[in-house]
Structure 1
Amino acid sequence: MDSPGEDEIWADMAVIFPVFNDAPWSEPAPAVDPALWESFVRALAKHDMCELLEDIMVAKISEHLLEVAEEFWARVTDQTVLGFDRFKQAVQGLDRDSANMLQYVRRIEDMRRMAGVTRKIYGIDDWSVLLKYLIRATLHSQLPVPKELSAIGDFYALSFKVFYHQEKSSREFNESGEEYHCNGCVELAEDCKCDQIIASFHFVNRILIKLELLERLAGDVLTSLMHKQIESHVQDTCESCYTMCFIEPLEKWLNSVVVGWLNHLYSTAPECPETQSKLITFKRKLNHLLYETYTMSRIDQLFNIIIEYPESSPAITDLKLCLKKTHLRPVLVEKLKATLGKRLLHPGVNTPDIITAYISSIKALRDLDPTGIILETCTNPVRQYLRGREDTMRCVVMSLTEEGPGDLADELAYGDESNQVETNWEEWLPDPIDASDTKEDKERQSWDIISMLVNVYGSKEVFVHEYRNLLADRLLTQYSYNTEKETRYLKLLKLRFDDSQLHYCEVMLRDVFDSKRLNTHLHAEPNFGLNQQELEVTCMILSAQFWPVFKEEKLELPEKIKKHLEIYTKAYEAIKGNRTLCWKPHLGSVNIELELKGRTANYTVTPTHAAIIWHFQEKDQWTIDELSGVLHVPPTVLRRRIGYWQTQGLLKEVATDTFLLVEDSAARTAKNVAASDAMMCEDDEAESIMASAQDQREEELQVFWTYIFGMLKNLESLPLDRIHMMLKMFASQGPSAVECSLQQLKQFLDAKVRDHKLLFSGGFYRLPK
């Protein structure tokens, strides 16, 4: 049994701590006579009951806090009350309960001081701190699901709205003079409750800060609210505007509005280092949130920013700064790759448009990331896709030598001096972590726009080959002998490529110049008789081994024309001695004058078109088969060529594949009469006079066949890889040489096997006996 002294202690304890006898916590602790209190503490210490009292008190507080927490969350989740009022009432109830418990806690602290107790409970020796700890722990142990915590968000959202509009006019009037609602509390101006809301805001925050519950209860809500406000402001301020820098204005807005509200929120907290530290941490977090939000916004708009570069360079400047302050670089790379694939890499986009976007990407991403890593990573799929399009290199070459996409002609004229930047070793930085160790990556910083376009195919030889084809097309379709423009472009290209690679092009231009001079000389010399002929013939004499392969078409010229060509040939032979001419009758341009009933018309057409209309002098009506037999032109080609004269109203199809000459101008449509008399057939202008890439490839592989035939004749049999190695050593020489891959060589040799020109057995190729 307890000693009498202990009985007295228990009796006094019931008076000093009535909650031990289940008295309600809602009632304040009764006042205690100082003498009784001092006697009570001495008795506790004498009987070693101080710790027992502490344990009982902790249990009682914990038990009561379960009821407090249940009541607190019930008020927060009560849907019958407005969110703002719900949270306010819940915090008021929590403050009242904590104040009552604090009275008992202070008596325990006084007892510990008088009795010299130093024991820690849950690692805490300060009971005021312990009470806050128990309140936080109990509240969190009964935390509802997030969707039921809308009252906290409503409370701070309304408080922020009131604060945001506090400095603005809270009274606005419509045209009839009626008052609008207050911008802050959305009440009529005369019933404005902004002052009460601000007072409640300070009251609630003061309690939460005192109990150290602000960050724990409202931290996520505050962050989410600030995030929404920042997102909304960034969207309203910066959407679709790329010509201004926004980082500085956004930072000013953040400090004046968002951080200003936070200062307002913490204004009720006592001035202490801990509070200031929390505020500084929150500000730092908000700044990071601003950078992340703005960066994500610009990442979503990056394709449009790239297309509008350099006008959009301020947006690139902002984005470059934000990437240093965030960890969103991988997100940018993945999203940009996906956007480029979706917007560009499909058959619905023209190759020139893809090249234009690619050029803009090079410029913009070089500005964004001078290391070139983002550019290399994001545009690699674009390069791969362009490599698979047949017209890519031709579009690039045309753009370099004409006014094409991306002003590439200007880039060629400027040269690559702008990309040669002096590096300072003191400012050197290592590559970012996403940099690879490939050769292309190591050379990326020296790549300019033209180099990157040329390297789409990974070889300058391919570019030079395509340039030769385009140059030949232009020289042989203009027939003006004017090479000044082409010579200028060639000089610019020689600054970027080896002279040896462009040597064939120099010879081509020299051929045109020499042809012009030769024509002048032959027509000026009376002994040759060219100036006395009925028809004036001028010729472009080409060094066949230096020019690309021409598209082969058969054409039998009229005898009268052939005689004039023979006269020109003899004049040429008289000057050049043992050299002669091999004519390409389907190439060239003919200026003809047609005498029709009531009018004369001039046309500039191809030799095939001229030959067709020539034969209608002999008779007015021809069939396709008859003309094909005379001209040696396939019927399919011939019918397409006749279509031009049909559009001019000179030929009419009177029956299937039968055409009649129409000389009477009255019988021709108004549309045909209005047609230009000096018109070159658009269909032929659009066609290249060069052989197709496949035809040229077959021609090049035929050169390989000569080497292969000699190898197998001397060595009897060889495997595929040995033939390929020997071809690389002996057959891939000169600017016109194009490399043959192992797979291409196998396809070529297999075709020879099918043609019974080779035998294949046991992995070896040999000649048939």
Structure 2
Amino acid sequence: MDHLWSLYGIVFVILWTCIPNEAKFIRFKPGYEYEYKFESNSELTDYGNFNIKAKTSQAYISSEVEFQNAVEILCKQDLGHIIEEWFLDTLQEDLRQKVGPQFWNYFSIQPSETDQLLEAVEYLHKVTMDYLPCIQRLESTTQIKRWRKSSTLFNTSSLTEAFILLMKSTLFSIFPRTFQEIVNKFYSDAFKVFHHTTTEPDQDSEDDEETSCKGCEQPSETCLCQHIMLNFHNLNRKLDDIGILERVSGTAVTNIVHERIKTYVENSCKGNFETSYIDILETWLDTKVLGWLHLVYSGNRTHIYSDCIDGFKGRLLHFLYESFANIQIEQLFNIIIEFPESEPAILDLKMCLEKTDVRTQLVTSLKSALETRLLHPGVNTSDILTAYIAAIRALRVLDPAGVILELVCHPVRKYLRSRDDTVRCIVSNLTDDGSNELLDELIKGQPLLLDETGHSDNEDEDWEKWMPDPVDADPSTTSKSKRASDIISMLVNIYGSKELFVNEYRTLLADRILTQFNYEIEKEIRYLELLKLRFGETQLHFCEVMLKDVADSKRLNTRVTEARNKSGERGEIDVNAMVLSAQFWPAFREEKITLPEVMQESLKEYTKKFEALKGNRTLNWKPHLGLVNIDIELKDRTINFNVSPVHAAIIMQFQKQEKWTVEDLSNELQMPATALRRKIAYWQTQGLLKEETTDTFLLVEEHKGRTHDVIVTDDDETESAMASAQSQREEELQVSYSITCLNCVVSHFSPV
């Protein structure tokens, strides 16, 4: 009460100093009873008697009525603010000189961080409770209440609020780093315990119950979770009572919540792309994070903060989406590679893009990842194409408008255009037997949409559903349908021309026919019909003729065989020919070779049979192309091989003699020595020939510990039958032509 009576005395002193100039006299009565009367031009007013007791230059007012009268005089003179100003000045001085140093002194000692914080808050709570009665007494004064309706100090509605604001500004204008660290640790421990105690026990972690508590990280028998939560509630209650809960804990709580969200998102979602996590994360945020925040701000004074938690939830959700998006963007390359299994992760990221502003970050990050991990010589073209196709499919789900795909994959398209084997890889995938995305796209049968075609008519048909492009769309791309075109169209648009792909398919088809030497073409006909839907019948006319040649060759071989059987003639080697219309087939790979006499005689015999059937037409053989099935009989074993005519011609020479030099064998077969050495290497790998001395090869009749039964194939045996693209370009530059009616490739089936 000393504070209150001091206040009354000051009010009297203020009253004395604020007597207006119109006062005529001041009359003193004996016994320290003073009567104040004021005369003015207005009506003479008697303000009553004040019982004043002088005590060491300090004046005291002895009754509540006298205090109210004194306040009334000040308020009538528009001086009501002097009372609050004096009180708050005195209070600020007390906070600065006494309370503040004592409060911060608790953190200069080093017993326990939690104990320091609890004791300091306990002291501040006690001091505040001592001040509150005086503040409430002053606030209850009627005249002060009236005066505050028209005038507020510190923009507050009550003296209590002014006191709290003064305490915040005096004691907590700047936090020492150690204090903030202590508060952070206290609330971090509390959140960890709350998260642990509100989580259902994991059945898989039953063995861990005897080791340590995951909440307080103490041995299970000395668990401190309850003690930590008790201190947590007590501290929040006391900070709430004195109105500084938000000021002390706000920064720490926000930092902890953000850190926990980041950690939980990373631990839960990183590396798993086959599960959708958005709903799981939102549920966790509601139950764990917001549940903990409600505990922090559940006091009477801060109930308004609880009302604001719903608004805070929106900001936390935004932070949750942003954290999740950042994690997914970091691993977006892997997500794309695993598409479509990773589609749930793509859909989650799509939702985050709609709610956050990370689109530019995504484009920059993914573009850099593609360039770093794909666009260098160490990656095969087929792998780059696989990744590009996966990117098209995944990014179309992520951004149906196709803008992200266009921005991110432009360097990939540019790099693919620079590789010589890109077209061949694309065409190979289009007609590959295995399950792949391009074959699935081909089966859809949609027409190509090339850049040169302008805009699609479908855009005009769907004008009612038109939507503007996103702001980051390339304005030079005039048609949205180009970005929405199918995968095959996008691959063709890498070069912007159908002809390259049609010519490559023609070469690939020819190579496949001649290397496999198979007359069953039903599968090839099916692929051709699908390609016609994409590229048009005119472009693929040559390919139709090629397949017709195969069918005709099958019938021709049947007729030749029947004629041979009827005549009873049978050569040493059975011949089946593939008769080709030269002007419709791509250029063949040329290789000089003179076949052994027995092989040449068989070809001449077949030619005669053909001429007998076809009248005025004959055959022009390609002796280096075809397939020969041979059985090689050695001393200890018999081996069967399917090889090219050149390989067969080489091994047949070792029937004449067991040892050959490269020079002699080259002269015998009329083929270059360099090409001969490369072909001989195949027989070396099979263990049939060995290099006795430099450029001298010997037949290996016996081979201990090794037996061969049938068919051994080397990469060289799958060498393309067609001329390389470079050699074809060189031929196109030459002014030459050749008139050849029929071009023939031979296959031989007979023992050596």
TM range (shorter): 0.7 to 0.9
C-alpha offsets along residues 455-474 of structure 1, whole Å, 9 cap, x if unaligned? 34443322222222211111
> AA paired with 1:694?
Q
Aligned match of 1:557: 595
Mapped partners of 1:583, 1:198: distance in 2? 94
Verify the 8 A CA contact 2:192 2:215 in the aligned structure 1. yes
Helix, strand or coil at the partner of 1:653: strand
- TM-score w.r.t. structure 2 length? 0.78
Indicate yes or no: 2:248 matched with 1:217: yes
- 5 Å-filtered alignment, 1:112-123, equals 113=144, 116=147, 118-123=150-155
- Aligned-pair CA distance for 1:522: 3.5
One-letter identity of the residue aligned with 1:500:
T
**CA distance 1:622–1:436, shift in 2 (3 Å):** same
**Mean CA deviation greater in 360-369 or 100-109:** 100-109
Corresponding position of 1:700: 732
1:23-81 Cα shifts (integer Å, max 9, x gaps): 9xxxxxx9962033124324545776544444444444444444478437725754614
Give the gaps of 5 or more residues in structure 1. Answer: 24-29, 707-769
Q: Against the structure 1 CA distance between its residues 579 and 5, is the aligned structure 2 distance closer, same or farther, given a 3 Å change threshold?
A: closer
Tell me the equivalent position of 1:675: 708
Residue 589 (structure 1) aligns with = 627
User: In 2, Cα distance between the equivalents of 1:581 and 1:358?
Assistant: 46
- Structure 1 residues 368-383: aligned runs within 5 Å: 368-383=398-413
Count of matched residue pairs: 680
AA matched with 1:285? R
- Identify the match of residue 231 of structure 1 among 255, 262, 284: 262
Match of residue 260 from structure 1: 291
Q: CA RMSD in A?
A: 4.3
Taking structure 1 as reference, are residues 373 and 270 closer, same or farther at Cα in structure 2, changes over 3 Å only?
Answer: same
Preserved contact between residue 401 and residue 480 of structure 2 (Cα < 8 Å) = no
Q: Larger Cα Rg: Structure 1 or Structure 2?
A: 2
Which residue of structure 2 aligns with residue 137 of structure 1? 169
1:164/1:257 contact within 8 Å kept: yes
Q: Aligned residues: percent identity?
A: 45
Shift of 1:122: 4.5
Q: Which secondary structure state, in structure 1, belongs to the residue aligned with residue 475 of structure 2?
A: coil
Match of 1:323 among 342, 353, 358: 353
Residue 353 of structure 2 is aligned to residue 353 of structure 1: no
Contact map agreement 1:386 1:392 (CA 8 A) in 2: yes
Other structure's SS at 1:586 match: strand
Measured in 2, the distance between the counterparts of 1:264 and 1:178 equals: 27
Structure 2 distance, partners of 1:508, 1:135, is 94
- Compare relative contact order (CA 8 Å, sep 6+) and give the higher one, 1 or 2: 2
Where 2:698 maps in the other structure, the secondary structure is strand
1:118-145, Cα deviation, whole Å (9 max, x unpaired): 4444555643333333333334533334
Tell whether the 8 Å contact from 2:402 to 2:484 is kept in structure 1 after alignment. no
Contact 2:515 2:718 in 1 (8 A): no
| Distance in 2 (alpha carbons) for counterparts of 1:622 and 1:196 | 95
Sort the Cα spacing of 1:80 and 1:473 in 2 relative to 1 into closer, same or farther, 3 A: same
Q: 1:451: how far off?
A: 3.0
Q: 1:526 to 1:692 in 2, by over 3 A?
A: closer
Matched AA of 1:670: G
The answer to whether residue 491 in structure 2 is matched with residue 434 in structure 1 is: no
Q: SS of the residue aligned with 1:242? A: coil
Specify which structure has the higher proportion of strand: 2
Aligned-partner residue type, residue 268 of structure 1: G
Residues 314-347 of structure 1: CA deviation (Å, up to 9, x unaligned) = 2223222222222222233333333333433334
In structure 1, distance between residues paired with 2:288 and 2:322: 18
- SS of alignment partner, residue 584 of structure 1: strand
Contact 1:353 1:405 in 2 (8 A): no
Q: Is contact 1:591–1:602 with CA below 8 Å preserved after alignment?
A: yes
Per-residue deviation, 1:354: 3.1
Q: Counterparts of 2:381 and 2:210 in 1: how far apart (Å)?
A: 60
Change (3 A) 1:428 1:57: farther
Contact 1:6/1:47, CA 8 A, preserved across alignment? no
- 1:474 corresponds to which residue? 512
Q: Equivalent residue for 2:527?
A: 489
Distance apart, 1:478 and its partner CA: 1.6
Cα distance in 2, alignment partners of residues 631 and 105 from structure 1: 118
1:201 corresponds, among 217, 221, 232, to: 232
What is the one-letter code of the residue matched to 2:293? Answer: L
1:514 aligns with 2:552: yes
1:154 corresponds to: 185
What is the alpha-carbon distance in structure 2 between the residues aligned to residue 189 and residue 243 of structure 1? 36
Shift of 1:149: 0.9
Q: What residue in structure 1 maps to residue 274 of structure 2? A: 243
- Contact 2:15–2:73 (Cα < 8 Å) also in 1: no
Structure 2 unaligned segments of length 5 or more: list them: 1-11, 19-31, 35-49, 450-455, 738-752
Q: CA deviation at 1:291?
A: 2.1
CA distances 1:466-506 after superposition (whole Å, capped 9, x unpaired): 22221111111122222122111111222222212222211
The equivalent residue for 1:636 is 674
Measured in 2, the distance between the counterparts of 1:412 and 1:450 equals 7
Instruction: Quote how far apart the aligned CAs of 1:620 are.
Output: 3.8
2:72–2:143: 8 Å Cα contact kept in structure 1? Answer: no
Do residues 455 (structure 1) and 466 (structure 2) align?
A: no
- Output the CA distance in 2 between the equivalents of 1:249 and 1:484: 51
CA distance in 1 between counterparts of 2:560 and 2:530 reads: 34
Counterpart code for 2:653: H
* Superposition TM-score, scaled by structure 1 size: 0.77
| Counterpart among 156, 159, 162 of residue 127 in structure 1 | 159
Distance 2:62 2:225 in 1: 44
